[in-house]
Each structure stands twice: as structure tokens, then as C-alpha cells.
Amino acid sequence: MLIQEPNMDVTRRRAAWSAAWGSVAVVLGGGSVAAWMAEPAPGSKFPAWPAWTLTVLTAAALCVSFSYLAGKWPASRHGENDKPARVDLIPEQVGNHLRLGLVNRDSAAEFSAQVTGMLDPLRQRRAPQHWTIPWLEDNSAEPKRILTGGTQVLDFARYDADAINTELSTGHDGADHWWFSAVPALIGARYYNLRSRNDLELQRFILTVRIMNASSGKYLDRQLTVGVQGRNLVCEIERTNASG
């Protein structure tokens, strides 16, 4: 489902290994030069194999260094780590509550979820822009292990219908219309200039949710468009980006 690209951590590891093998190549190369420059006295039986051995090892170390830098070594390990992760978010409405089922379609791992950005109905950034979404089961924010094919539910948001009805009937505003679950405190959000139900249904909040795989360090982002349509809560999910 996801196309993953190497993240900065993988790039740093490759650069570190490349530098390490480059240092080995420098040391071996120095020994090789010294061995070839050592001219034996006439009639000496000084063997040539040390010089040849050091030369071959220097060439091998250089190859490994450049292979790491190019991301081609070791191929089997990186190929395994860069496989696409398969994790889904499935929205579920329970009364005025909006929950997100996190479905793991890959191997068992520990996951957590965070909001990393939020736009209000005017497409302006709100503060705060980052919070951890708690699990419905125990209201914790710690990574939770999900087996292959398993699902854990995130307590994502609550729509405050009473605040909406009060504002539409009295014209007085001030109360928040949505409450997004967060640790340690709820995050409130408001619509703008509500005068009718049509105003309500035309406005949407856009949030970016990041799913973190604590076992591998991978993550993926999902863009969620949240609002109300009649009596139904709306949660449309789009893919944004991923990192391996």
C-alpha cells in the first residue's frame, strides 16, 4: 500500500559505514605502497605476495566503501529494511466520537500515532501543531504492539453537538466545536461564523497524522479531512508520504 523511501537515519548509517571502510582502505593502501616500495637487496628472496595481498584488500575496501555510499551494500539487508510497510487507518463513528482503527498488515511491531500538523477551515495553522494520540483501550500514548492482521483503536476526536446547537440558536460563540484527543490535554478547535447548518457542513479541518513504527523506526503520514455532513462525522484519509 505504501511506497517507502530511505530516511535520514538509513542515509547516515550508510555514510558512517562508507567512511569506516574508506579509513580501512587508506590504511591498507598505505601498507600496500610501503610493501611495493621496499626494494629487496640483490639476491634477496623477499616475497611479493604481501604487496599483492595488500593491494587486493585495498581495492576490496574501496569497493565496499563506495557500495555503502551508493546504498547498494549489503543489498539483502537494505532490501529487507526498505520493504513497504502495510498499515491502514480506518475511521469509525461512535455517537459523536471519531475513532481510528490502526490495522497492521505487516509483521508484528509496536506502533504509536501523532498529529504533526493541523489546518483550520480557513487553511490557517493552529497552535499547537503536534500532539500524541492516545489509545482508546487505556488512554496511553506509549507504543502498542500490534500483531499481523491485528487492530488497535485510537481515540481520535469528539464532535461537540451541544456547542454547535447553542451557537446556532443564540448566535453567541466562544465554545470549541471539536475536541481532539491528546496527551496530556485535549485540543479544541472551532468553526468560523456559524449561522446555519450549511456553514457547518462547508467547513473542514485538515490534520496530518504520523504513524510511527517503534520497532523499525519507519513512519508514514496520512492527511485526514475532518468535518460533519448531516448527522454523520466525516473523515477522509489521503496518503501523503512515508519513510523507511
Higher pLDDT, 172 or 145: 145
pLDDT surpasses 50 at 3: no
In this prediction, residue 54 carries a pLDDT of 63
pLDDT surpasses 90 at 159: yes
| C-alpha–C-alpha distance, residues 166 and 168, integer Å | 6
* Dihedral in degrees, nearest 10, Cα atoms 159, 165, 166, 167: 90
What percent of the chain is predicted at pLDDT more than 70? 70
In this prediction, residue 52 carries a pLDDT of 62
Residue 194: pLDDT band (50, 70, 90) is confident
In this prediction, residue 26 carries a pLDDT of 74
| C-alpha–C-alpha distance, residues 154 and 120, integer Å | 21
In this prediction, residue 81 carries a pLDDT of 47
Mean pLDDT of the chain: 81
pLDDT surpasses 70 at 157: yes
What percent of the chain is predicted at pLDDT more than 90? 48
For residue 221, how many C-alpha atoms fall within 13 Å in the half-sphere facing its CB?
13
CB-CB neighbours of 195 under 10 Å: 10
Quote the Cα angle for 149-208-148, to 5°.
10
Higher pLDDT, 168 or 55: 168
pTM: 0.65
pLDDT surpasses 90 at 25: no
Residue 20: pLDDT band (50, 70, 90) is confident
Tell which residue, 84, 233, 62, has the closest CA to residue 161: 233
Region 128-137: mean pLDDT is: 93
Quote the Cα angle for 205-201-184, to 5°.
35
Whether residue 128 is preceded by a cis peptide bond, meaning omega within 30 degrees of 0, is yes
Residue 8: pLDDT band (50, 70, 90) is very low
Axis crossing angle, helix 8-37 with helix 49-69, rounded to the nearest 10: 160
Is residue 79 classed exposed, middle or buried when 0-12, 13-18 and 19+ CB atoms within 10 A define those classes? Answer: exposed
For the segment 48-100, what is each residue's pLDDT rounded down to a tens digit?
A: 667 667 677 777 767 766 666 665 555 444 444 445 468 999 999 999 999 99
Lowest mean pLDDT among 84-88, 107-111, 206-210: 84-88
In this prediction, residue 71 carries a pLDDT of 58
Residues 6+ apart with CB under 8 A from 211: 87, 89, 102, 111, 112, 113, 219, 220, 221, 222
In this prediction, residue 78 carries a pLDDT of 43
Region 142-153: mean pLDDT is: 96
CA-based Rg of the chain, rounded to a whole angstrom?
Answer: 29
